[in-house]
Structure 1
């Protein structure tokens, strides 16, 4: 072969070499498409950008795979429950019962937490008691929990490996068709990071695109007033559209604790009875309330802070009026506070087709 012909042959071969190859397990290389979060305008103005783990970057393929896994009942021991069974899109990705039942009909002692705006949880502690360090790790526990999905990751991985679609989907998302718990939870975490809620009436009001009623405006003032509601220290403000500080507090629910909360995780008695402050977004969808779902209505929640606070050794200093039982709101302020809280409802979020099965 002449040198000229050989040169042309090699040049023609280069595109083929650059577009194909084999991964670590011998499969063809596929480059996933990078994806980014859809950041609401208000979040861009008020919050720093989320930090995405370098070992789990967002891709279109990873997010799509995570969504499929989130709704797949084969993650449970008897193929009857998925992540979405206890984190329902219509309920802002929580449950509408006090305690979700597992596949064996057993109940825990915690209310299912709603899932949205998780990408801005910068302390990286998840669950009511902060026991899960990182969103990827958080997804590991429910599958093997005997009162939840009651399976094990070897069984789940094997079930998905036998599926006609999943090996290819994992190959496209992660460059390998070998399925394991690490890649499953990475995909689920990618999907969960896209669950962003930022289009409530109050969001639109802050952007100049909606008006509040006098009752709603007074309710916001009650929320922000240290002598009335005094809610903003733990639950955000017009400058913190997450409507939570993502921290842990003893908010005066009990005098003694059957559930130690953060204290059981850290082993520090000073943390006993402390639980995560949940976001106040989407309260219209997330009843019942508190870590144990003890309050069925928003009225009960407001009454607790108004006249139901209980003294305990670890009561949060922010509960400044605990010795008076609470902030002692008037009936009108209670009604107005509820009206304001409902302006944090994001109907677009619970109806977003990107988040539905």
Structure 2
């Protein structure tokens, strides 16, 4: 058998040594080994509950969050280099996009609207249909979805390896040979966990500032949290949009249609009893996140309140029981909520107090400067 020519063997060895086992570029001999990443000090609003337990293998670090922020606005993760996570989640709109349905590469339309990314640290299930149980698994979905970024994560990572800025950032965040799919998802998840909104006028009221709300806004809050029972008038909003986080973290059919065309949670669980159920979104920054509902059918908060007051499809098979037998009619004979025009306006006024401009202007969350 012919032995390999020594020069060819030497060249082959050199080529093989140029890549890590997973295709990443190893640290070059003249590059210093990255120091251990710095723990990230995440400050939580004092009126918020304790968050969901976070993955032990992805602790928040200063370097990981910084990398995640860079990746969040990186268009190279899309097939045609035109779309990033930040395209559909704009900070000034509380990380939504202002469209009825999200728009991806080649102007493709998603069947649903882009949800706000505020306070995902507390969410046990993600997306409108609960398709992801962690931010790490969720981050892959929009990247690979054909109507969003439409590129395999593997292809996106291969692009990042060719960009001079990224290998050092990955090494700082995760160590040697770190530019991998798993670490890309981890970094995005770390950044998204820092997107905390908790300094609206409502929060200030909750923390003891009784001057933070006007009389009409305060009456709107009372209506918002009250379940009408024939004696106490209420808007029946707080049953689902409860507590400081403005959500009960469940899935609900809120009566948009008798027979919903989009199965929502039912398409994930394959249970008919879940058809037409969608994640109850937080109402934080709701005045900034129009249009509303999973399909963006309502343009204004007034239209949303009109829906719950007058147009709920109570005969939908999976309607949320919290919407049944709820009326402000003192005789309890109406199937509608029966709010007055003044009461509806007061509820809308309260919803505006959930806007947190510190969150929408925080430079830590903005697009990094080149």
Normalising by structure 2, report the TM-score: 0.85
Establish whether residue 33 from structure 1 lines up as the match of residue 62 from structure 2. no
Match of 2:338 among 322, 328, 332: 328
What is the distance in 2 between the residues matched to 1:206 and 1:114? Answer: 22
Q: Report the more deviating stretch, 315-324 or 152-161.
A: 315-324
Quickly say closer, same or farther: Cα 1:324–1:162, change in 2 above 3 A. farther
What is the distance in 2 between the residues matched to 1:140 and 1:185? Answer: 7
Establish whether residue 315 from structure 1 lines up as the match of residue 352 from structure 2. no
Any stretches of 5+ residues in structure 1 without a counterpart?
A: 1-23
Query: How far off is 1:325 after superposition?
Result: 4.9
Aligned to 2:170, the other structure's residue is in SS state: helix
Aligned to 2:197, the other structure's residue is in SS state: coil
Could you tell me whether the CA contact under 8 Å between 1:168 and 1:177 is conserved in 2? no
What is the distance in 2 between the residues matched to 1:341 and 1:283? Answer: 7
Give the aligned partner of residue 351 of structure 1: 361
User: Within 5 A, what are the aligned runs for 1:39-188?
Assistant: 39-43=44-48, 47-121=49-123, 124-188=124-188
Q: Report the more deviating stretch, 203-212 or 86-95.
A: 203-212
* C-alpha distance after superposition, 1:221-249 (max 9, x if no partner): 1112211211111101xxx2100011100
Aligned to 1:205, the other structure's residue is in SS state: helix
Establish whether residue 235 from structure 1 lines up as the match of residue 241 from structure 2. yes
* C-alpha distance after superposition, 1:316-350 (max 9, x if no partner): 10012479453121000000000111111111100
Query: How far off is 1:57 after superposition?
Result: 0.4
What is the distance in 1 between the residues matched to 2:341 and 2:363? Answer: 39
Give the aligned partner of residue 12 of structure 2: none
Q: Report the more deviating stretch, 28-37 or 158-167.
A: 28-37
What is the distance in 1 between the residues matched to 2:254 and 2:241? Answer: 12
What is the distance in 2 between the residues matched to 1:181 and 1:86? Answer: 22
Aligned to 1:140, the other structure's residue is in SS state: helix
RMSD: 1.7
What is the distance in 1 between the residues matched to 2:226 and 2:46? Answer: 26
* C-alpha distance after superposition, 1:85-109 (max 9, x if no partner): 0000011001101112211221121
Give the aligned partner of residue 3 of structure 1: none
Structure 1 runs (4+) deviating above 6 angstroms are none
Aligned to 1:220, the other structure's residue is in SS state: helix
Match of 1:257 among 256, 260, 275: 260
What is the distance in 1 between the residues matched to 2:272 and 2:52? Answer: 32
Could you tell me whether the CA contact under 8 Å between 2:227 and 2:239 is conserved in 1? no
Q: Report the more deviating stretch, 259-268 or 317-326.
A: 317-326
Aligned to 1:137, the other structure's residue is in SS state: helix
Could you tell me whether the CA contact under 8 Å between 2:198 and 2:356 is conserved in 1? yes
Give the aligned partner of residue 227 of structure 2: 226
Q: Report the more deviating stretch, 48-57 or 91-100.
A: 48-57
Give the aligned partner of residue 9 of structure 1: none
Give the aligned partner of residue 338 of structure 1: 348
Could you tell me whether the CA contact under 8 Å between 2:255 and 2:312 is conserved in 1? yes
Quickly say closer, same or farther: Cα 1:35–1:325, change in 2 above 3 A. same
Q: Report the more deviating stretch, 256-265 or 317-326.
A: 317-326
Aligned to 1:318, the other structure's residue is in SS state: helix
* C-alpha distance after superposition, 1:170-223 (max 9, x if no partner): 111011334222111100000000000000101111222343211111111111
Could you tell me whether the CA contact under 8 Å between 2:80 and 2:105 is conserved in 1? yes
* C-alpha distance after superposition, 1:252-301 (max 9, x if no partner): 11000210000000011000000011111101110001111110000000
What is the distance in 2 between the residues matched to 1:125 and 1:75? Answer: 24
Any stretches of 5+ residues in structure 2 without a counterpart?
A: 1-21, 28-32, 229-233, 327-332
Could you tell me whether the CA contact under 8 Å between 2:251 and 2:280 is conserved in 1? yes
Give the aligned partner of residue 14 of structure 1: none
Number of aligned positions between the proteins: 327
Normalising by structure 1, report the TM-score: 0.88
